Structure 1
Amino acid sequence: MTAPGRLFNPDPLPRPIHGGIKEAELRALGLRLEDCLDFSASVSPLGPPEGVAAAIAAVDLTAYPDPHCLVLTEAIAAHHSGDGLSVGNVIVGNGSTEIIHLLTRSYIGAPPTGCTNTALVLTPTYGEYDGAVRICGGKVLTLTASRHSDGFAWDTAALCAAVAAERPALTFICNPNNPTGVLMGRDQLAAIADAVANTGGLLVVDEAYINLSERRADADVIALAARHGSVITLRSMTKDYALTALRLGYAVASEAVIARLSALQPDWSVNGLAQAAGLDAIADEAYLERARQAVAASRECVVQRLSGLSIRCYPTEANFVLAQVGNAADLRDRLARRGLFVRDCTSFGLPDCIRIGLRPVEDCARLADAIADVWSEEPQR
């Protein structure tokens, strides 16, 4: 028992590691943010759509935002009208990460009949799935991709067997996957969805990077999620439209799944600035195609330049490149001292790899030059 008048604080769970430049590290290195380039986060290299700044400036800061994000929800449903979406199929969140936490609160906290308070996570992948499940007291099972010289792959048959045996409340697939860039096809996802449906669980397909993929049509499961009661798909407007500071995402699922999540979402979790920016961004119908073209050009620059240094770059369908560099932590630190921040993938279980978020070509060329310089210094590889 705890002493009277004292609160019991259990040991905190370790938090997932994310990209992004941290102020504490800048201070330690004696750097200023405006002098640095961030390749550790993966967002559109174009920056926000042109009208976003004006849309934000027009927001009345004295007014509460709509807690239901109705106008933005309607715009998202209209944007996906070809997939048969209605407003009831969409929930908007403070980044797709908020929706991940709503999912674990709902499905791990109160598993569907016949399911366990377990999540099956395909790894290596985004750390927030694991973190959100553990916060809710759930168990995490993992299925790790096999690694080959030409990329990473999961065994679909083994995945479906694990779902049948373990009956997880949630099964998480990031598609394209972070950090490997692997894109799982629509037919493969549909087969996994059927396996999950047989147990009463929910398949979570995190498509945070899919809008910046040239092969997005091969895997898009928006329509499947809208009509399939065992599938939900997540989208990140933060990444699609470079709204990083605002945090904005949404999910598509059956009306029953959306209602279950909405019941747990706090009012006003999506602020008025983010809602206004999202409306303006989604109205710019030409933006995403321009962003995909920019991603392709920057990817070509990075892969060509690093390959010239005999650095393996794994095939990717996302707006980042996974590069095998030996001692990732050492290279990351050497680059950081030059004001160039990449993601050390040790936290993903890949201590020999860095992830490079694709910025404009000129920035990518500057990073490649710096890596070449560091390489010439004979780092520990």
Structure 2
Amino acid sequence: SEGVEPESILDFSVSTNPLPPHPEVERAVARAAFDRYPDSSSEALRRAIAEANAFSPEEVLVTNGLAQAIVLLAFAFCDRGSRALVASPAFGEYEAASRLAGAEVLFVPAREEEGFAFPAQRLMHAVRAHRPALVWVCSPNNPTGAAPSREEAVSLLRVCEDEGALLLLDEAYVNFAPPGVSARGLLPSPNLLLLRSMTKDYGLTGLRLGYILGATGLLRPLRALQPPWSVNACAQAAGEEALRRNAYYEAQWREVRSLTEWMASKLRALGYAPSPPSANFILFKVGDTAALKEFLWRERILVRDCASFGLPGYVRVGVRSEAENNRLIECISLFKER
């Protein structure tokens, strides 16, 4: 409404890979066939994902981003009148999809006074008390960055197995996290599915690409529900080529981790208390978020107000390039001095 060109905005409100794609990924998109329907099963990409994760292709379902995966999971495994647990704060689509499928949604929130640590014990207690159909956990969490330890993930899965719940670990940000955060080693299990986002890992935001890892029997009803040709030819081509260039992206993920550590240190130096950096974004409390947002917008900078996550007074900033991160820190410093 202000006539601002999108290219002039520094958008720290999103949390995807901020670094440029491999040139061959762009060329693969340009070569994709536009004159015929895409492979409805994403067979070549499915095989590439399976190989990269040491799974069989039958244990992989490629989706049109994780938003589609979340809807498929809710409708496949939530019956009307069932319950879904959400470890919160969390991505709003877990709740929206579960309610749309007819489930009652219950929340197990991380506590501010505990530094938003993963609420493992309270979540396990809730699984035993409510016997939900689904348990939604984002690991690392968006927006706090918290993740269950290996021991907590194992214990939670055991409780879900005992109570007949399906544990859904959304690992959309796991490649930006320190090594060892992924629960991939807990598969296969009849009570666990992992969600992954190539949109975020490989910076394919405009193409929408994700996948689910898990036991063949759990993926079967999802395949039946998924609309045909869900994943377009450009997304499939980009995903295949990105996996061929994984060393390039692994180097980017290491760089992003370094950039995140740097930004957290600068925010601490300004007197803020950012969450421990364990993804490609940082959560910190500013108090008057409206004032900060207004101040930054004058410089055409966007940050994410976390009131929508139930965290008023907090903002989340996604990491961008070194120069752009410097610009943000300079502007926040000026905001503090005003």
Q: The TM-score by the shorter chain falls in which range?
A: over 0.9
Q: CA shift at 1:365, angstroms?
A: 0.4
Letter in 2 for 1:52: V
C-alpha separation in 2, matches of 1:168 and 1:291: 38
Letter in 1 for 2:32: V
Tell me which residue corresponds to 2:183. Answer: 221
Query: What do residues 117-173 of structure 1 show as CA deviations (whole Å, max 9, x unaligned)?
Result: 211000111111011112222211000112237x31244232212111211110001
C-alpha separation in 2, matches of 1:353 and 1:269: 36
Point out where structure 2 has 5 or more consecutive residues left out of the alignment: none
C-alpha separation in 2, matches of 1:224 and 1:306: 36
Would the aligned equivalents of 1:180 and 1:316 in 2 still touch at CA under 8 Å?
no
Tell me which residue corresponds to 2:64. Answer: 94
Query: What do residues 271-300 of structure 1 show as CA deviations (whole Å, max 9, x unaligned)?
Result: 110000000111112123212222133213
C-alpha separation in 1, matches of 2:20 and 2:140: 21
Which residue, 85, 97, 114 being the options, matches 1:120? 85
Would the aligned equivalents of 1:65 and 1:270 in 2 still touch at CA under 8 Å?
yes
C-alpha separation in 2, matches of 1:305 and 1:92: 38
Would the aligned equivalents of 1:104 and 1:133 in 2 still touch at CA under 8 Å?
yes
Q: CA shift at 1:97, angstroms?
A: 1.4
3-state SS of 1:143 partner: strand
C-alpha separation in 1, matches of 2:189 and 2:140: 21
C-alpha separation in 2, matches of 1:29 and 1:125: 31
TM-score in terms of structure 2 length = 0.96
Would the aligned equivalents of 2:138 and 2:170 in 1 still touch at CA under 8 Å?
yes
Tell me which residue corresponds to 1:53. Answer: 26
3-state SS of 2:17 partner: coil
3-state SS of 2:106 partner: strand
Between the two proteins, what is the percent identity of the paired residues? Answer: 39
Tell me which residue corresponds to 2:168. Answer: 204
Would the aligned equivalents of 1:45 and 1:291 in 2 still touch at CA under 8 Å?
no
Letter in 2 for 1:224: L
Letter in 1 for 2:302: F
Tell me the C-alpha RMSD between the 2 structures. Answer: 1.5
Letter in 1 for 2:134: L
Would the aligned equivalents of 2:261 and 2:277 in 1 still touch at CA under 8 Å?
no
Residue 312 (structure 2) pairs with residue 351 (structure 1)? yes
TM-score in terms of structure 1 length = 0.85
* Matched positions, count: 338
Tell me which residue corresponds to 1:193. Answer: 157
Tell me which residue corresponds to 2:105. Answer: 140
3-state SS of 2:195 partner: strand
Which residue, 243, 248, 260 being the options, matches 2:209? 248
Tell me which residue corresponds to 1:162. Answer: 126
Q: CA shift at 1:30, angstroms?
A: 2.8
Query: What do residues 63-122 of structure 1 show as CA deviations (whole Å, max 9, x unaligned)?
Result: 1100100000000000012xxx11111000011111110000111146xxxxx6211000
Name the CA shift for 1:176/1:154 in 2 (closer, same or farther; >3 Å): closer
Point out where structure 1 has 5 or more consecutive residues left out of the alignment: 1-27, 111-115
Q: CA shift at 1:373, angstroms?
A: 1.9
Tell me which residue corresponds to 1:177. Answer: 141
C-alpha separation in 1, matches of 2:263 and 2:175: 20
3-state SS of 2:163 partner: coil
Q: CA shift at 1:353, angstroms?
A: 0.9
Would the aligned equivalents of 1:89 and 1:255 in 2 still touch at CA under 8 Å?
yes
The structure that is helix-richer by fraction is: 2
Letter in 2 for 1:182: A
Query: What do residues 200-230 of structure 1 show as CA deviations (whole Å, max 9, x unaligned)?
Result: 2210000000011123x2x3222323x1010
Which residues in structure 2 correspond to 1:1-381 (within 5 Å)?
28-81=1-54, 85-109=55-79, 117-148=82-113, 151-215=115-179, 217=180, 219-225=181-187, 227-377=188-338
Would the aligned equivalents of 1:344 and 1:355 in 2 still touch at CA under 8 Å?
yes
Q: CA shift at 1:47, angstroms?
A: 2.5
C-alpha separation in 2, matches of 1:65 and 1:212: 30
Letter in 2 for 1:122: A
Query: What do residues 344-368 of structure 1 show as CA deviations (whole Å, max 9, x unaligned)?
Result: 1001111111101011111100011
Segment of structure 1 superposing worse, 290-299 or 318-327 = 290-299
C-alpha separation in 1, matches of 2:64 and 2:223: 13
C-alpha separation in 1, matches of 2:141 and 2:119: 15
Letter in 2 for 1:349: G
Q: CA shift at 1:50, angstroms?
A: 2.5
Would the aligned equivalents of 2:118 and 2:146 in 1 still touch at CA under 8 Å?
no
3-state SS of 1:244 partner: coil
Would the aligned equivalents of 1:45 and 1:294 in 2 still touch at CA under 8 Å?
no
Show structure 1 runs of 4+ deviating over 4 A: none
Would the aligned equivalents of 2:275 and 2:283 in 1 still touch at CA under 8 Å?
yes
3-state SS of 1:162 partner: helix
Would the aligned equivalents of 1:346 and 1:353 in 2 still touch at CA under 8 Å?
yes
Tell me which residue corresponds to 1:15. Answer: none
